[in-house]
Chains A and B, each alone.
Chain A
Amino acid sequence: MSRLLVVAMLLGGVFAFAGCGLFSSPQNTFAPGGQVAADEKNLFLLTMWPALVIMIGVEFGLVWILWRFRRKKGDSGLPAQTHGNNKLEIAWTVAPIILLALFIAPTVGGIVDLGRTPKNSLEIDVTGQRFLWTFSYPDPKGGPPIQAPPEKSEMHIPLGKTIALKLKAIDVNHSFWVPKLAGKTDAIPGRANHMWLKGDTLGTYEGQCAEFCGTGHGVMRFKVVVETQQDFDAWLKAQAAAQRTDQPALAFQGD
């Protein structure tokens, strides 16, 4: 088994070295484009490294024990019948408690940070329905909400500004997820959920529904365009203008 592990590690090394392409994706949670996704990635790494160390320790320890205490040819006796050791038991109960307790503060801190929407955020109403997302913006001039064109399933946001999302669903559960910008929050019929995110790098990000919602679940995709404030303002203005000529506003039915 130890030989197998060495082979596995070598293979892993080869992949890591030669195949950077194997670890890239437009939805890679390890390549954040915004603060929220970056914080979440760092929290993951905070547990991943100790977990990896423990895993390697346990797996190699296991293989070593098996090798060290294997019954050799010609062995006929029996080993000492040890029944336990209370000090050891206390040690391997308390040590993990201490290690794990260290994770509590960053976890709770992260929950509170992500649960509290920053002030002066741009508020966008997001509605999930089978099988697309619609986005509604407040009119800076105080008029009726401005709809992004639903057929495009595209949300535009200004660079570096915190965005407060109000999530609703009109048919079944959905989950709003832009892996490079932020972890997911569910959109559930009959209630409004809230999350916030921030785009810190210009670009177009891939998003996807993450709660199973039926036959179109796999294609319930959308995009988030992070653009400069000027570009965003221009885009919003254009949507407002288009909406005025397209009256009445699009109303979508669940199927």
Chain B
Amino acid sequence: MAGATLTPKRVTMADAVREARGAAGSYKGIWSWIATVDHKRIGIMYGLTSFFFFLVGGLEALLIRVQLARPENAFLSPDQYNRIFTMHGTTMVFLVVMPMSAAFFNLLVPLMIGARDVAFPRMNAFSFWVFLFGGLFMNLSFFTGGNILKGDIGAPDAGWFGYAPLTLNKFSPGNGVNYWLIGLQILGIASLAGGFNFIVTILNMRAPGMSLFRMPLFVWMTLVTSFLLIFAMPVIAVALFELMFDRLFDANFFNAAKGGTPLLWQHMFWLFGHPEVYILILPAMGIVSEVLPTFSRKPLFGYPFVVFSGVAIGFMSWGVWAHHMYTTGLGSVANSAFGISTIMISIPTGVKIFNWMATLWGGSISFKTPLYFAVGFIAMFTIGGLTGVTHSIVPSDYQQQDTYYVVAHFHQVLFGGAIFGLFSGIYYWFPKFTGRMLSEGWGKLHFWLMFIGFNLTFQPMMVLGLLGMPRRIQSYPDGYGWGFWNAMATFGAFTIAVSILVFIYNVIVSMRHGEVAGEDPWDARTLEWTIPSPPPPYNFAEIPQVHALDDFWHRKYAEDPHGMPIPIPVGASAHADSGHGDSHDDGHGIHLPSPSYMPIIAAAGFPLIGLGLIYDAALVAVGAAVMVVGLYLWVLEPATEE
């Protein structure tokens, strides 16, 4: 699959079929999107879907902030409040940051490693459709509580962490938690499919010459994240199955009244949950590691150290889960061990921050919007990391656990870190996939509004936590000194909302009138910038031969003995042989995987099975049949026509 195959000159039946398929998969119309197996289109669908859920989760955040804006507010009832904050957390983790990272994996990994697609293109499409259906399935729960227009919402109400035994039928009646647990189960399948796909893609599909240590850092972080995914998702899958058995079939894993073990849930949830934190942040770290070198015009400082600190974080993330459980009575030995491991995981993170700063040091820094967001990432993630260190001081954490101090901390990491990093990536790669630049003016306005809004929202929460405000309370009395800080946080949240509107406006305007980007608008370093914007379906007319880390940069610049770059005249590249053979420039004769309807059909089985589990077992059979038929036809279908 990696190599281009020459087409015979004679027109054959296969050519005719290919032409016909080419028209059907002609990249026009809705059906071409539904049947697509092109990693770039799947990436765009991942991105758009996760951005839609970002707006949903953001709306939920605003509802929370309105409710908490002043003491003794009654904008939302406790029941509504619990459902809204449960869905806010679940949405932002599983339907926003994870799939938006997956969007970047899809868009970038094949281009960065010089491949024509991922290893398993149809499985890639399957992964997207399962994610989409899982997200819709979970949000369907909103409509199951009666009349939603009257505020009767049926969403899950037991928190995104779903602690047993609160999740059991007795305490969370109705179907909300069922939607939640089955929805997460479905989303886990999407994550597993994606994780395996990217591991195989990265290990097997690299262009000749691209050794592991010539891979862009973003690809490394994708690899680490994918390994975390394939090991972490099964853990929560088991936990969710047990909860499902308790709720649907009256089993007894978590019900203490019958001898079950509530604490078991917490161990499994956080054994998944802490690697999950790094699943959320490592992709953004990868993006920042690509953006900073481009805009400072220097290679990433200490590349192998940044790679290995990312790998170290991946390993260490498995040894810190009980720091979410210091107050559950695990005893002094366990608390000491997990306190120390939590102290130590900050070291590789610190190494990354220092290397990013050293990358900027001595550079010639262009202040473009992607750089603003990347620097915002470093600035805010640093605070998130340092507040994380304070959590490792176990006795002091007995106070901060489950307060707004923790809420501030993880938003510092996941919003100040992950979301800022992802926006940096959006501004950086938007021209590559649309052919047009996003407006710098609107982009910087977006950044400053979001940066100021972010700090107004989340820094007051640190104060609130230290002033003793617990999380997940729908209301608080007057006279507790919390009103002012909450009002400030609410003001900040609306500032963030305005910044997102600016971003949307920027995208709409720039799609139509933005400056045309060209192949390499930023004078960048990696392979995706060697091909047209937007890239052709086959990505590379000829698979590139890779000679170095930052290969594209070295095609453009040589280094003199003092390490100063000297531009290489166009066409005189030392690696000109690797460049653009004329025979394939129109993309003819390049074998691409054919479009397929089977991934979406197979994926459609899952939500049907989910609905069946909740409402009627007959539907389980229908869903299973749909899935099996989809998979069966998938197996019989040739990957490429020949």
Q: Are A89 and B302 in contact (CB under 8 A)?
A: yes
Q: Are B481 and A21 in contact (CB under 8 A)?
A: yes
List residues of chain B with CB within 8 A of the CB of A47: 389-390, 393, 396
Task: Decide if B332 is an interface residue (CB 8 Å cutoff).
Answer: yes
Closest to A97 in B: B347
| Alpha-carbon gap, A59 to B350, bound state (A) | 13
Task: Decide if B353 is an interface residue (CB 8 Å cutoff).
Answer: yes
Instruction: Mark B309-348 against chain A: 1 for CB-CB distance below 8 A, else 0.
Output: 0000000000000000001110110011001100110110
Q: Are A27 and B468 in contact (CB under 8 A)?
A: yes
Task: Decide if A252 is an interface residue (CB 8 Å cutoff).
Answer: no
- Give the contacts of A92-112 with B (CB-CB under 8 A): 92-93, 96-97, 100, 103-104, 106-108, 110-112
Closest to A113 in B: B395
Task: Decide if B256 is an interface residue (CB 8 Å cutoff).
Answer: yes
| Alpha-carbon gap, A89 to B135, bound state (A) | 43
Task: Decide if B383 is an interface residue (CB 8 Å cutoff).
Answer: yes
Q: Are A28 and B467 in contact (CB under 8 A)?
A: yes
Task: Decide if A241 is an interface residue (CB 8 Å cutoff).
Answer: no
List residues of chain B with CB within 8 A of the CB of A77: 364, 564
Task: Decide if A69 is an interface residue (CB 8 Å cutoff).
Answer: yes
Q: Are B393 and A44 in contact (CB under 8 A)?
A: yes
| Alpha-carbon gap, A92 to B352, bound state (A) | 10
List residues of chain B with CB within 8 A of the CB of A69: 296, 360-365
- Give the contacts of A155-214 with B (CB-CB under 8 A): 171-173, 175, 177, 179-180, 182-186, 188-191, 193-194, 206, 208-214
- Give the contacts of B404-446 with A (CB-CB under 8 A): none
Q: Are A179 and B171 in contact (CB under 8 A)?
A: no
- Give the contacts of A67-118 with B (CB-CB under 8 A): 69-71, 75, 77-85, 88-89, 92-93, 96-97, 100, 103-104, 106-108, 110-116
Q: Are A82 and B165 in contact (CB under 8 A)?
A: no
Q: Are A24 and B481 in contact (CB under 8 A)?
A: yes
Closest to A110 in B: B395
Q: Are B481 and A25 in contact (CB under 8 A)?
A: yes
Q: Are B481 and A79 in contact (CB under 8 A)?
A: no
Closest to A12 in B: B459
Task: Decide if A153 is an interface residue (CB 8 Å cutoff).
Answer: no
List residues of chain B with CB within 8 A of the CB of A184: 327, 398-399, 401-402
Q: How far is the CB of A112 from chain B (nearest CB, A)?
A: 5
Choose among B365, B467, B563 the residue that contacts A70 (Cβ–Cβ < 8 A).
B365
Q: How far is the CB of A156 from chain B (nearest CB, A)?
A: 21
Choose among B328, B331, B339, B562 the residue that contacts A186 (Cβ–Cβ < 8 A).
B328
List residues of chain A with CB within 8 A of the CB of B366: 71
Task: Decide if B261 is an interface residue (CB 8 Å cutoff).
Answer: yes
Choose the segment among A50-58, A229-237, A243-251 that binds chain B (4+ C-beta atoms closer than 8 Å). A50-58
Q: A44-B390, A58-B357, A93-B351 are in contact. Are A79 and B399 (CB under 8 A)?
A: no
Choose among B355, B399, B559 the residue that contacts A29 (Cβ–Cβ < 8 A).
B399
Q: How far is the CB of B506 from chain A (nearest CB, A)?
A: 21
Q: Are A171 and B165 in contact (CB under 8 A)?
A: yes
Q: Are B403 and A210 in contact (CB under 8 A)?
A: yes
Q: Are B393 and A46 in contact (CB under 8 A)?
A: yes
Q: How far is the CB of B560 from chain A (nearest CB, A)?
A: 10
Q: A47-B389, A82-B362, A212-B472 are in contact. Are A114 and B298 (CB under 8 A)?
A: no
Q: Are A189 and B257 in contact (CB under 8 A)?
A: yes
| Alpha-carbon gap, A112 to B361, bound state (A) | 44
- Interface size class of chain B, counting residues whose CB lies under 8 Å from the partner chain: 35 or more
Q: How far is the CB of B639 from chain A (nearest CB, A)?
A: 41
Q: Are A183 and B468 in contact (CB under 8 A)?
A: no
Q: A25-B468, A58-B357, A93-B347 are in contact. Are A84 and B301 (CB under 8 A)?
A: yes
Q: Are B350 and A27 in contact (CB under 8 A)?
A: no
| Alpha-carbon gap, A67 to B331, bound state (A) | 50
| Alpha-carbon gap, A59 to B416, bound state (A) | 14
Q: A183-B401, A189-B165, A189-B262 are in contact. Are A111 and B299 (CB under 8 A)?
A: no
Task: Decide if B166 is an interface residue (CB 8 Å cutoff).
Answer: yes
Q: Are A218 and B301 in contact (CB under 8 A)?
A: no
Task: Decide if A17 is an interface residue (CB 8 Å cutoff).
Answer: no
Choose among B79, B261, B328, B357 the residue that contacts A215 (Cβ–Cβ < 8 A).
B79
| Alpha-carbon gap, A115 to B328, bound state (A) | 12
Choose the segment among A35-43, A119-127, A134-142, A143-151 that binds chain B (4+ C-beta atoms closer than 8 Å). A35-43
Q: A82-B362, A108-B336 are in contact. Are A28 and B481 (CB under 8 A)?
A: yes
Task: Decide if B52 is an interface residue (CB 8 Å cutoff).
Answer: no
Q: Are A92 and B329 in contact (CB under 8 A)?
A: no
List residues of chain A with CB within 8 A of the CB of B304: 84
Q: Are B379 and A173 in contact (CB under 8 A)?
A: no
List residues of chain A with CB within 8 A of the CB of B559: 81
List residues of chain B with CB within 8 A of the CB of A212: 82, 158-159, 163, 166, 402, 471-472
Q: A29-B399, A184-B401 are in contact. Are A96 and B347 (CB under 8 A)?
A: yes
Choose among B256, B379, B452 the residue that contacts A190 (Cβ–Cβ < 8 A).
B256
Task: Decide if B484 is an interface residue (CB 8 Å cutoff).
Answer: yes
| Alpha-carbon gap, A70 to B157, bound state (A) | 50
List residues of chain B with CB within 8 A of the CB of A219: 475
Task: Decide if A13 is an interface residue (CB 8 Å cutoff).
Answer: no
Q: How far is the CB of A186 from chain B (nearest CB, A)?
A: 5
Q: How far is the CB of B622 from chain A (nearest CB, A)?
A: 35
Q: Are A186 and B364 in contact (CB under 8 A)?
A: no
Q: Are A83 and B303 in contact (CB under 8 A)?
A: yes
Task: Decide if A6 is an interface residue (CB 8 Å cutoff).
Answer: no
Task: Decide if A48 is an interface residue (CB 8 Å cutoff).
Answer: yes
- Give the contacts of B246-261 with A (CB-CB under 8 A): 256-257, 259-261
Q: How far is the CB of B316 from chain A (nearest CB, A)?
A: 13
Task: Decide if B116 is an interface residue (CB 8 Å cutoff).
Answer: no
Closest to B86 in A: A212
Task: Decide if A223 is an interface residue (CB 8 Å cutoff).
Answer: no
List residues of chain A with CB within 8 A of the CB of B399: 29, 37, 40-41, 44, 179, 183-184
Task: Decide if A62 is an interface residue (CB 8 Å cutoff).
Answer: yes
Closest to B159 in A: A212
Q: How far is the CB of A199 from chain B (nearest CB, A)?
A: 16
Closest to B168 in A: A172
| Alpha-carbon gap, A106 to B340, bound state (A) | 11
Q: Are B469 and A190 in contact (CB under 8 A)?
A: no
Q: A25-B468, A65-B361, A66-B375 are in contact. Are A84 and B302 (CB under 8 A)?
A: yes
| Alpha-carbon gap, A171 to B360, bound state (A) | 55
Q: How far is the CB of A1 from chain B (nearest CB, A)?
A: 8
Task: Decide if B175 is an interface residue (CB 8 Å cutoff).
Answer: no
Instruction: Mark B363-396 against chain A: 1 for CB-CB distance below 8 A, else 0.
Output: 1111100000001001100110011011011111
Task: Decide if B473 is an interface residue (CB 8 Å cutoff).
Answer: yes
List residues of chain B with CB within 8 A of the CB of A193: 328-329
Q: Are B485 and A107 in contact (CB under 8 A)?
A: no
Closest to B467 in A: A25
Instruction: Mark B449-489 against chain A: 1 for CB-CB distance below 8 A, else 0.
Output: 00010010000000100111111111110011110110000
Give me the 4 closest cross-chain CB pairs, A-B, nearest first.
Answer: A183-B398, A27-B468, A190-B256, A218-B473
Q: 4 extra interchain contacts, Cβ-Cβ under 8 A, other than A79-B362, A190-B260?
A: A28-B466, A59-B382, A89-B305, A103-B392
Please, could you name 6 A-B residue pairs with CB atoms under 8 Å apart, sorted by A? A66-B375, A78-B557, A82-B299, A84-B303, A113-B395, A183-B395
A-to-B contact residues, CB < 8 Å: 1, 4, 8, 21-30, 37, 39-41, 43-44, 46-48, 51, 54-55, 58-59, 61-62, 65-66, 69-71, 75, 77-85, 88-89, 92-93, 96-97, 100, 103-104, 106-108, 110-116, 130, 171-173, 175, 177, 179-180, 182-186, 188-191, 193-194, 206, 208-219
